[in-house]
Structures are given as C-alpha cells and as structure tokens.
Amino acid sequence: TKIHVVVPAAGSGRRMQSAVPKQYLTLSGESVLSHTLKRLLAALPALSTLTVALSPGDEQGRALLRQLASDYPGKAITTAPGGAERSDSVLNALDALRDVAGDQDWVLVHDAARPCVRGDDIARMMAVLSETPDVDGGLLAAPVAATLKRSDSEDCIMETVDRQQVWAAATPQTFRYHALRQALLKANEHEISVTDEASAMEAVGAKIKLIPCQPDNIKITWQGDIAMAEAILKSQ
C-alpha cells in the first residue's frame, strides 16, 4: 500500500478578508502553503505522491510545486484543478491519482491552511492505523478544552454540552483511496455538504479512529491567525 498526500489549496479565504488568498500570506518569511507542503514531505518520507488542488490561474502555486518537485526528485508532485467546494477540490485530486493509486492505498488529506501540523503527530497517526487493522481510517483531532454551550436562536443557553469525548477535528485525515473516493462521490450525489473527509466516511458507516494531536494544529481562518501561527512555529 502506497501513501498519497492530497492538499486542497484552492479556497479563496473569504473569512480572512485579505488581498491574497490565505495560503499565500507570509508566515515567518515563507508562504503558508510552502510551510504546509514542506512539513508533509518531511513527516512522510514514504509518501509516493503529493497532489495539490489549485485555483485556475494560480501561477504562484505552480511555481512553488515546480520548486518542490526539483527539491524532492523521488516524489510525484503534481497539481489538480480546484473545485467549487473543498470536497470538489479533493475529488479532483483523487481523480488525478486514478492511474497511480491502488484501491487500498492510503490517502492523507491535509488543509493547505494548517501549516503548524507536527510531523510526529502525522507519524503517530500512520503507526496507529497500521497497528489497528479493524479501522477504516483516522484523523488528527484535539480533545476540546472549552466548556461548551448549545444556544437557541436568541443566543440564550439551552444546555451545557458534555465535553467528555468531544474532539475538534483537524487534518490530516487518512482513508483508503477507493473508499474515500466512493464516500465523497456519494455525499456529492446526495448533495450532503461535507467540510471534512471524515463526515463523508461517517455517512457510509466507516469506523474512524481519532488520533490526539496538539491543539496548535490550527487552521488559519481569521485575521490574527497569521500572528498566532508565527508564534506557534517559533514555539515548536
């Protein structure tokens, strides 16, 4: 079983409200996407392919991938067209892998906007998956520390949600090539919006292992997250 990495990087970063999409904001002297891809390549020496979904006309992304392809000559580093939703971008990348991926190969999907992911967490996820043959896949997630409230439509508390066994889902999320593709196609077909791969796999009844990661595996989303990510990178 080979290891493939898919990175959706074709979002427009509406919540960030910046002039350039957030994957190209500068973090400690390099783009967010560059940090993310280098961390994945370093954490997974066994990976065979890296496929990055880019927006049409994204020359900066293409140039970065050409550079990485020359820095990592043994790896197949390619692009796929971004789609309307994150799941469409992931599906396009899976389609681009059609001829090289075996049905049982592992695919790790990782957000371009998570540059602080730790290599040791990724390595531990792969070790857990190989030691736990009865699960269909897994994802990094952080146990929730906050006290959680569910509200009504007027923002008044209805209840406190027990945070025992509540996790914040992160990425990478790792599933078998064929199963993941089928699950995402099915979600599309039924017009179920899925914000992560695990949601699509849950909908088809998969058994999915949560692998604890550091809470600093943040997804850069809002203004201010760049400064936070810089502080995290310095602290690691």
- For ligand CTP, the binding residues (CB under 6 A) are 8-15, 23, 53, 82-86, 89, 111-113, 219, 221
Nearest distance, CB of residue 223 and ligand CTP, angstroms: 11
β-strand pairing of 157-161 with 148-151 = antiparallel
Minimum CB distance to ligand CTP, residue 4 (Å): 16
User: What is the CA 99 to chain-centroid distance, rounded?
Assistant: 22
Q: Kindly report the backbone phi and psi dihedral angles of residue 158, in degrees, each rounded to the nearest multiple of 5, phi listed first.
A: -95, -40
CB-based burial label for 145 (10 Å; 0-12, 13-18, 19+): exposed
Give me 123's structure tokens.
């390595």
Q: Which one, 136 or 197, has the nearer CB to ligand CTP?
A: 197
Residue facing ligand CTP at closest CB distance: 11
Q: Which two tokens stand for residue 186?
A: 């099915």
Which lies closer to ligand CTP via its Cβ, residue 151 or residue 193?
193
Closest distance of CB 24 from ligand CTP, Å: 10
CA distance 145 to 135: 26
Query: How many residues appear in the chain?
Result: 236
Which residue's CB is nearer to ligand CTP, number 12 or number 151?
Answer: 12
Quote the least distance from Cβ 37 to ligand CTP, whole Å. 11
Nearer to ligand CTP, 19 or 158 (CB): 19
The rounded distance, in Å, linking the Cα atoms of 164 and 144 is 8
Minimum gap (Å) between residue 165 Cβ and ligand CTP: 25
Sign of CA dihedral 126, 173, 137, 83: negative
Closest separation in Å from C-beta 188 to ligand CTP: 13
Nearer to ligand CTP, 59 or 162 (CB): 59
Asked whether the beta carbons of 83 and 91 are under 8 A apart, the reply is yes
CB nearer ligand CTP, residue 8 or residue 147: 8
Neighbour tally for 89: CB within 10 Å:
26
